Amino acid sequence: MSHNEYMNTSAEKQSPSYDDVIDAISANPEGFWLEKATEYIDWVKEPTRAVDDANAPIYRWYPDGELNVCYNAIDRHVEAGRGDQAAIIYDSPVTDTIRTITYTELLGEVSRFARALSDKGVTKGDRVVIYMPMVPEAAVATLACARIGAIHSVVFGGFAPNELAVRIDDTAPKAVISTSCGVEKSRILEYKPMLDEAIDLAQNKPEFSVIVQRDEHRCELGENDLDYAELLAASPEGIDPVTVKATDELYVLYTSGTTGKPKGIVRDSGGYAVALAYSMPTLFDLNPGDTMFTASDVGWVVGHSYIVYAPLLAGVTSVLFEGKPIGTPDAGTFFRIIEQHGVNVHFTAPTAMRVVRKEDPEGELIKKYDLSSLRASFLAGERLDPDTYEWTTQILAEATGRDIPVVDNWWQTETGWPIAANPLGLNRFPLKAGSPTKPVPGYQIEILDASGKPVPAGEEGLIVMKLPLPPGTMATVWGDDSRFVSSYLAAFDGYYLTGDSGYLDEDGYVFVMGRTDDVINVAGHRLSTGVIEAVIASHPAVTETAVIGVHDETKGQSPRALVVLGDSAEATDPDTIIAELVALVRKEIGPVAAFKQVDIVPALPKTRSGKILRKTMREIADGVDSPAVPSTIEDRSVLDSLESVLNRR
């Protein structure tokens, strides 16, 4: 079946069960993934092999296949008669703008910008750094690079100049694409001075920059700067897509929290396209014509995968949102968007739902909106604590009168798509709070102890995945295969080390308890800080918490909780709440936790993707001279305000 035939019939197909798919992969993984490649993707040269293991433990997917990812994301939908369908809906409450871009319109702008880049000398294999906020041109730029076979590397708009310079040096781009400014609810953030400083700092200077001038602030262009609108005006004709090998690099994305030499995760073209196109109907139950609203940023892997590539590969409308979950204008923003654009699946981070809960604990703003189009809410990017899961489930049920699944899903920048999730297109499994449900087909998850031996069901250990990983996962570290092996593949022969700890229960559900350095040792007892956090978060006055293990002369380490309280009546007596939390942990976990210290704080320091800086706080509490502060920190002042608290013994 061709993909165009699939596009017209996929919603009517009888989906196999989860067990059927697992059995099919187990029996013939090569055949399964070859079938998916031809079912979901249009190839210039169809692959005859699924995986190349000649350089194991580094594997390559579809080694003899050739394609163009941009063609698969745009052109083929237009050719199939879907050109008038919305491809991207740009919703920007910070600029009071809503713009719908059809697949035909997107093809025109992408192909014209691709020609402009090509005319300026950008060719297949060249790198292009994209330094932009959440504007449509960010998606256009990524797709234009894919169209001509250039390798894009998206860096958060507004990232500090020295960090941008490090990434410029690592990829040695021919060009940088940026904007005049970013727009936030209370300020304009000028990008051009930061970009200029970064280029001054960098050794590998780009040949030119392209600047999208925004009405909110227009910047002065330098001698090596080109105006985006003028480039498009000078390129009335587009350019045809360039054929690349499936194993050619599509993009390089740097992991959050990188310090020192950056770690650029390399994503290939063919395997990534197959995995994402497969994931849309399988995991999200989304088909051509549906609408997905992923409230992330193109600077993160979630934005790459589920704002830009996956929805467009699947013929789905993607909502591109420029704003925040609160304050633009209020905690009902997400739900206004769901109603206004007929969103079927909403995807955001647990942190976003926690801040919504803090502003609107009873969900009164949520209940204002008609959410009849909503079929599921996906939460990822960090561990989904049971309390946030249960609150979100309850509020959506109250707002809709229906059972809306709140789907935890666990994955990493390195994997590019979910490792574990409730696969709504195959089975809707009973949900278990604290679990992203079961391994996604293609991932073989095992739990090992420190010596590499399997541990029994229900016992916590190191989460690993058997090689080869499925298509779509990282191909290598940019420019450094040996670093890829030493960082991820060397700990246990034949396995990828996730860096997370957790367990599989007797039903095969995955429970991810935290990073391996979030396991603390209290008087010889290994305790997961995630378990303690789950107990604390169950208290009605608590909206957010982080537990760190701090040095203890007697016990080795002792747990210490930093807690953010809600605005509700229960949060009026901090001393009482602290006593209740200590008693709650003692009751649920036992005296072995030796849990005594709780600090009430106004906020927790996080990266821009919502990950709490537990390691940094632990180092400050332990008196480390130069604690590691990741370059992706959202607001340095939050961390600075906690130093005196953390330094208290």
pLDDT at residue 646 is higher than 90: no
**What integer is the mean pLDDT of 148-164?**
89
Q: Which pairing describes strands 438-439 and 345-348: parallel, antiparallel, or unpaired?
A: unpaired
DSSP state of 44: S
- Is there a single domain that holds both residue 468 and residue 538? no
For residues 457-482, average pLDDT: 95
Q: Specify which residues 511 forms β-bridges with.
A: 503
What number is the average pLDDT over the span 441-470? 94
- Report whether pLDDT(6) > 70: no
CA distance 181 to 170: 24
Residues 517-571 have pLDDT tens digits of 666 667 555 566 877 888 898 888 888 899 988 887 666 678 899 999 987 655 5
Tens digits of residue pLDDT in 250-285: 999 998 543 456 789 999 999 999 999 999 999 999
Range name among 111-115, 484-488, 641-645 with the lowest pLDDT average: 641-645
Give the model's confidence band at 477: pLDDT under 50 very low, under 70 low, under 90 confident, else very high: very high
576/465 same-domain check: no
Do 131 and 157 meet the contact criterion of CB atoms below 8 Å apart? yes
Q: Give percent above pLDDT 70 in the chain.
A: 93
Q: What is the mean pLDDT of residues 419-439?
A: 93
In a domain, 207, yes or no: no
Asked if residue 47 has pLDDT above 60, the reply is yes
Domain end among 464, 488, 513: 513
Beta carbons of 395 and 363 less than 8 angstroms apart? yes
Alpha-carbon radius of gyration of the chain: 24
187 by Cβ neighbours in 10 Å (0-12 / 13-18 / 19+) ranks as exposed
pLDDT score of 7 more than 80: no
587 lies in some domain: yes
Q: Is the pLDDT of residue 457 over 80?
A: yes
| Beta-ladder partners of 608 | none
Is the pLDDT reported for residue 647 higher than 90? Answer: no
The residues, any chain, with a CB within 8 Å of residue 361's CB and separated by 6 or more, are 566, 567, 568
Q: Do residues 539 and 641 share a domain?
A: yes
Query: Structurally, how many domains does the chain consist of?
Result: 2
Bond preceding residue 206 cis, omega within 30 of 0 = no
Claim to verify: residue 499 and residue 557 sit in the same structural domain: no
Same domain assignment for residues 473 and 536 = no
- For the chain, what is the mean pLDDT? 91
Q: How far is CA 612 from the centre of its chain?
A: 15
Percent of the chain with pLDDT over 90: 69
49: helix, strand or coil: coil
Least confident of 141-150, 359-368, 416-425, 622-631: 622-631
Whether 514 has a pLDDT exceeding 80, the answer reads no
Query: Which range among 59-68, 429-438, 511-520 shows the weakest confidence by mean pLDDT?
Result: 511-520
Helix (H, G, I), strand (E, B) or coil at 45: strand
Domain that holds residue 549: 523-646
| 612 secondary structure, DSSP code | B
Are 531 and 494 in the same domain? Answer: no
Residue pLDDT, tens place only, 214-260: 999 999 999 999 999 999 999 999 999 999 999 999 999 998 543 45
- Pairing mode of beta strands 542-552, 556-565: antiparallel
| Amino acid (one-letter) located at 173 | P
Q: Are residues 564 and 623 in the same domain?
A: yes
Q: Tell me, yes or no, whether 198 lies in a domain.
A: no
Which of 13-22, 346-355, 572-581 has the highest mean predicted lDDT (pLDDT)?
A: 346-355
Instruction: Check residue 619 and give its pLDDT.
Output: 85
What is the DSSP pairing of strand 175-179 with strand 127-132?
A: parallel
Model confidence at 12: pLDDT above 90: no
Same structural domain, 458 and 545:
no
Q: For the domain that residue 555 is a member of, what is the CATH number?
A: 3.30.300.30
Mean local confidence (pLDDT), 99-109: 98
pLDDT recorded at residue 533: 86
- Of the residues 513, 540, 564, the one at which a domain ends: 513
Do 538 and 504 share a structural domain? no
CB atoms within 10 A of CB 647: 10
Within a domain: residue 79?
Answer: no
Q: Clarify whether residues 546 and 503 are in a common domain.
A: no
Element (H, E) at 533: helix 529-537
| Least confident interval from 142-151, 178-187, 566-575, 597-606 | 566-575
Question: What local confidence, expressed as pLDDT, does residue 613 receive?
Answer: 87
Residue type, position 352, single letter: A
CA 306 – CA 347 distance, rounded (Å): 9
Output the six-digit token pair for 641.
């305000």
Q: Where among 468, 484, 513 does a domain terminate?
A: 513
pLDDT class for 649, splitting at 50, 70, 90?
Answer: low
User: Which of 261 and 452 is assigned the larger pLDDT?
Assistant: 452
- What is the per-residue pLDDT for 2? 44
Helix H or strand E segment including 438: strand 438-439
Same domain membership, residue 583 and residue 557: yes
Domain membership of residue 256 (yes or no) is no
568 DSSP assignment: S
5 pLDDT band (50/70/90 cuts)? low
In-domain check, residue 280: no
Which pLDDT score is estimated for 557? 79
Residue 636 lies in a domain: yes
Q: What is the pLDDT of residues 26-43, one digit of tens each?
A: 999 999 999 999 999 999
Q: Does residue 566 sit within a domain?
A: yes
The CATH code of the domain that includes 499 is: 2.30.38.10
Mean pLDDT for the stretch of residues 485-510: 94
> 630 and 613 in contact (C-beta within 8 Å)?
yes
Residue 439's nearest CA partner among 26, 149, 140 is 26
| Torsion, Cα of 539, 545, 551, 556 (10° steps) | 50
* Exposure string over 353-375, b if 16+ CB within 10 A, otherwise e: bbbbbbbbbebebbeebebebbb
At 322, which amino acid appears? E
pLDDT in tens, 301-333: 999 999 999 999 999 999 999 999 999 999 999
Which band of pLDDT confidence, cut at 50, 70 and 90, is reported for residue 1?
A: very low
- Beta strand extents in 553-617 (DSSP E only): 556-565, 597-600
- Work out the average pLDDT over 190-200: 95
535 and 509, same structural domain? no
